Amino acid sequence: MGERLVIIGADAAGMTAASVAKRRRRELEVIAFEKSAFASYAACGEPYYVSGDIPTLDKLIARTPEQFARAGIDLRHHHEVVAIDTDRQVVVVRNHADGTSSETGYDKLMYATGAVAAVPPIPGINRDGVHTLRTLDDADDLRSVATASRGRVVIVGGGYIGLEVAEAFHTRGWDVTVIEGLDALLPRTLDADLGAKVAEAAQTMGIKVRTGVMVDAIEGTDHVTSVDCAGEMIPADVVVVAVGSRPVVELAAEAGIPVGPTGAVAVDDHQRTGVEGIWAAGDCCEARHRVTGEIVNLHLATIANKAGRVAGFNMTGGDVAFPGTLGTAITRLHDLEVASTGARHADALAAGIDAVDTTVSGRTAAHYMPESSPITVRVTTERGSSRIVGAQIVGGAGSGKRIDVFATAIWEGMTAQGFEWVDLAYAPPFAGVWDISAIALRKAAEDALR
Amino acid sequence: MGERLVIIGADAAGMTAASVAKRRRRELEVIAFEKSAFASYAACGEPYYVSGDIPTLDKLIARTPEQFARAGIDLRHHHEVVAIDTDRQVVVVRNHADGTSSETGYDKLMYATGAVAAVPPIPGINRDGVHTLRTLDDADDLRSVATASRGRVVIVGGGYIGLEVAEAFHTRGWDVTVIEGLDALLPRTLDADLGAKVAEAAQTMGIKVRTGVMVDAIEGTDHVTSVDCAGEMIPADVVVVAVGSRPVVELAAEAGIPVGPTGAVAVDDHQRTGVEGIWAAGDCCEARHRVTGEIVNLHLATIANKAGRVAGFNMTGGDVAFPGTLGTAITRLHDLEVASTGARHADALAAGIDAVDTTVSGRTAAHYMPESSPITVRVTTERGSSRIVGAQIVGGAGSGKRIDVFATAIWEGMTAQGFEWVDLAYAPPFAGVWDISAIALRKAAEDALR
């Protein structure tokens, strides 16, 4: 009998690993167990299904079981792996379709269970009308709610998903309030003063924002009627809890696969877990931050896809190291774009980098163009060397993807000194003759080398 | 008496040099002679004034004489330098306001005469209704024409300016035909097959495009009535000639300032001309291409500003080298964006680089998003090393500024190998989970290292 690869969890990381491994070793038997009815779906697209930008849910399915079958991958839906026996190299699988359980042996195992929506212990969290957004079922439910009527939605959590859901409901004409417990919106990726710019823009659009205040309870009888926010009752017909997600590690932990300091599965740079023959990738496992060297557990599709690819190579005789993440992230709130990459000041300091922040404000296009809108760029550099370690951007259309220049520069270890000369593209609809990125880096070099 | 810097030509290069020099050496006397009524204006914005995107011409004036005066720079309009005596270090200046001439001595001289619209020797080129677009007066004239009526405009030249003028007239409801003598649109920055994509998009928008055919004559009595295009008469109420521009070197040549192989003023990497004490920058002078090492004369505002800055530093005791240009350029035709940077295949081969082209087509955003549109990226790399030497992009909104990632990578000498891992930003409205740039570079690495 040939070699068998078993995949636990058939989403980005798992199925990327499956596809890469199968392409590299055609004789490999690949079985992917997925407990839900969905595989390989674009969770990041869900807010745009809720908003109506995406007409049907099937658009979010990257590949169907039939497509995987044609690629020689045996994808089994409604099959939940409930135990891993690492000594015998078998997984115990429950078939939710017929209620049976069985064992399947593996030569190689890919642990890619992903993450689930975090649910904070707020009194009333289980009332009707309280939603999270993680699975396609969640998305379907939330869209039904959003389209059935128009009312008041309170979104608990002002991170990326919270804002995207806010945009979706706002687009549909709802009265939207976002509550963020920390001091500012997007606290994990933006400094507070830049988060405040996002809040200001949101409020100008008519989205209410409350920061630095906790939700004490979700009130109502069966169905939610209001949210108790530090004593103030905010009326709510619907509540969306978007306070992040947590890695699914129970199965690994029970099997003795080591979990790291972040609470996610520990892996080396080849995506090997602490147990021989078992790889992991995606939201369920850790990754190294390329700038700080810190071990992180970021739930980003980009990491899941790249790490899945690395695992797929290495489990088929390759030797590829995951080169680290910059945590690059981007989103929008209608016309406002937000992005960040690398390390912020505090993260850099914590990693022993003597960080200097430089902030410039300008325009996305030539000042005289109608599409020109404000943009603020913050660059974090290392004092003395001017090495670029992080960047944050908030601005109008055309702002967000500028982060890629910073991501490339940080990736390559470039310094701010000299960057002003880089030949970035200019035409009036797209930039000033000195692109705001180059202006920011010129000033950053002055600040870092002062 | 203190030291005096004289600037000939008060546009981007000249006034950037003036400003940098004055900031660095407050006691320096700075006099800028400008023969026209305008200084420091954004020529690149003119098509958007013609289109009506920009309401008034003054928006294109970056700084007024009063602003320069406050910065200690004596800007004199209607003053034309008609001769340079490099032995005596004086310029002869004609004051067009009062018809007088006088001499002004200089310690340092900045030659920044720019370029003028090229006017090909086509029979009938001087008929009424035939325009070029270079000066603000040109822009004013062309806007008057474009707004006075609606009719048929023939644009001779399918480069950046030609396309921008086409967009402007098309926006105003004119019947637009673009004629390009070479095989495809944008022949100086795009390969012919990509230029053909632009032509196809233009035609879909209702802009007629004729390529590979020359204009033999511009017909009419006083006023143009048609364009004779290889025997075919194309009716025209207005003709815009946009076949490029040529550097203004006569004054330099007469003064014995050496002109280089491109026909523009020769400079070293410190923007020094062949005559001690005389600097040059901008469209009138040469620059080194960073990838090919070739001496070029590109009329780009980005080069003028950077080279002017270099000159301003060096003429005040600095030691800054112009680090070369990639010729990065960008434009749009309504929603279609076009950009290029670095060396194309033929340019690279001519420079002794064993070039490999890789072309990928994809989407600007996640395929399921309504804003997702097609994008094609061509990357040119060096065989064996996979060093990135050039890139071209044609696609929908969000395509063009992606060129900056390539410009940054080329600038830094990055290879395509490994680039797929760079942590570029992903969210459904902005990219696929693997950005098209990373996909292109992954494939380019395979092609270059095969």
Calculate what percentage of chain B has a pLDDT beyond 90.
97
Q: Where does the pLDDT of residue A169 fall: very low under 50, low under 70, confident under 90, or very high at 90 and above?
A: very high
Instruction: Identify the residue whose tokens are 């079958």.
Output: A69
Q: Which of A292, A383, A397 is nearest to A339 (CA)?
A: A397
pLDDT at B319: 98
Q: Where does the pLDDT of residue B419 fall: very low under 50, low under 70, confident under 90, or very high at 90 and above?
A: very high
Mutate which: B161, B421, B434, B436, vs A, most A CBs within 10 A: B421
Mutate which: A136, A404, A405, A430, vs B, most B CBs within 10 A: A404
A128–chain B nearest CA distance, Å: 30
The CATH number of A119-239 is 3.50.50.60
Of A325, A404, A421, nearest to B425 by CB-CB distance is: A404
Question: Which residue type is seen at A36?
Answer: S
Contacts with A424 from chain B: Cβ below 8 Å: 302, 328, 404, 407-408
Cα(A345)–Cα(B392) distance, integer angstroms = 36
**Does residue A1 carry a pLDDT above 70?**
no
**Does residue B96 carry a pLDDT above 80?**
yes
* Digit-coded pLDDT (tens) for B186-201: 999 999 999 999 999 9
Q: What is the DSSP secondary-structure string of B213-281?
A: --EEEEEESSBEEEEEETTEEEE-SEEEE-S-EEE--HHHHHTTPPB-TTSSBP--TT-B-SSTTEEE-
Contact B404 A404 (CB under 8 A): yes
* Digit-coded pLDDT (tens) for A421-438: 999 999 999 999 999 999
Q: What is the H or E stretch that residue B359 is in? A: strand B355-363
* Digit-coded pLDDT (tens) for B203-218: 999 999 999 999 999 9
Q: Where does the pLDDT of residue A62 fall: very low under 50, low under 70, confident under 90, or very high at 90 and above?
A: confident
Q: Is B44 marked active-site?
A: yes
Bridge partners, A84 (sequence order): A91
Q: What is the H or E stretch that residue A304 is in? A: helix A301-314
Mutate which: A423, A430, A439, vs B, most B CBs within 10 A: A423
Q: What is the DSSP secondary-structure string of B283-346?
A: TTB-EEBTTT--EE----HHHHHHHHHHHHHHTTT-------B---EEEEETTEEEEEEE--HH
Q: What is the H or E stretch that residue A102 is in? A: strand A100-105
Per-residue three-class SS string for B127-161? CECEECCCCHHHHHHHHHHHHHCCCEEEEECCCHH
Question: Which residue type is seen at B198?
Answer: V
Top-level CATH class of B4-43+62-116+246-314? alpha beta
A192–chain B nearest CA distance, Å: 21
- B205: CB partners within 8 A, 6+ apart: B170, B333, B334
Contact A330 B426 (CB under 8 A): yes
Nearest residue of B to residue A434 by CA position?
A: B302
Contacts with A12 from chain B: Cβ below 8 Å: 433
Bridge partners, A154 (sequence order): A177, A239
CATH H superfamily, domain A335-449 = FAD/NAD(P)-binding domain (3.50.50.60)
Asked, colleague to colleague, whether B4-43+62-116+246-314 and B119-243 share their fold, the answer is yes
Nearest residue of A to residue B433 by CA position?
A: A302
Nearest residue of A to residue B401 by CA position?
A: A425
A45–chain B nearest CA distance, Å: 6
Rounded to whole angstroms, what are the CA distances from A212 to A119, A132, A156, A181, A196? 19, 21, 12, 5, 11
**Does residue B1 carry a pLDDT above 70?**
no
Kindly state the average pLDDT of the residues A259-266.
Answer: 98
CATH H superfamily, domain A4-116+246-314 = FAD/NAD(P)-binding domain (3.50.50.60)
Kindly state the average pLDDT of the residues A360-389.
Answer: 98
CB pairs under 8 A between A and B: 181
Contact A328 B404 (CB under 8 A): no
Break chain B into its structural domains and give their ranges. Answer: 4-43+62-116+246-314, 119-243, 336-449
Kindly state the average pLDDT of the residues B84-107.
Answer: 98
Kindly state the average pLDDT of the residues B316-342.
Answer: 98
User: A173 is written with which tokens?
Assistant: 């004409």
Q: What is the DSSP secondary-structure string of B65-79?
A: HHHHHHTTEEEEETE
pLDDT at A122: 96
Top-level CATH class of B336-449? alpha beta
Instruction: Tell me the three state secondary structure of residue B63.
Output: coil
Contacts with B329 from chain A: Cβ below 8 Å: 425, 427
Q: What is the ipTM of this complex?
A: 0.97
Q: Which of A18, A41, A28, A20 is nearest to A301 (CA)?
A: A41
Cα(A54)–Cα(A61) distance, integer angstroms = 12
**Does residue A65 carry a pLDDT above 90?**
no
Of B322, B328, B367, nearest to A424 by CB-CB distance is: B328
Q: Which of B139, B117, B134 is nearest to B55 (CA)?
A: B139
A327–chain B nearest CA distance, Å: 7
pTM, entire model: 0.97
Top-level CATH class of B119-243? alpha beta
Number of CB atoms found within 10 A of residue A346's CB: 11
* Digit-coded pLDDT (tens) for B220-262: 999 999 999 999 999 999 999 999 999 999 999 999 999 999 9
Contacts with A159 from chain B: Cβ below 8 Å: none
Kindly state the average pLDDT of the residues B170-181.
Answer: 98
Cα(A397)–Cα(B117) distance, integer angstroms = 33
Q: Where does the pLDDT of residue B63 fall: very low under 50, low under 70, confident under 90, or very high at 90 and above?
A: confident
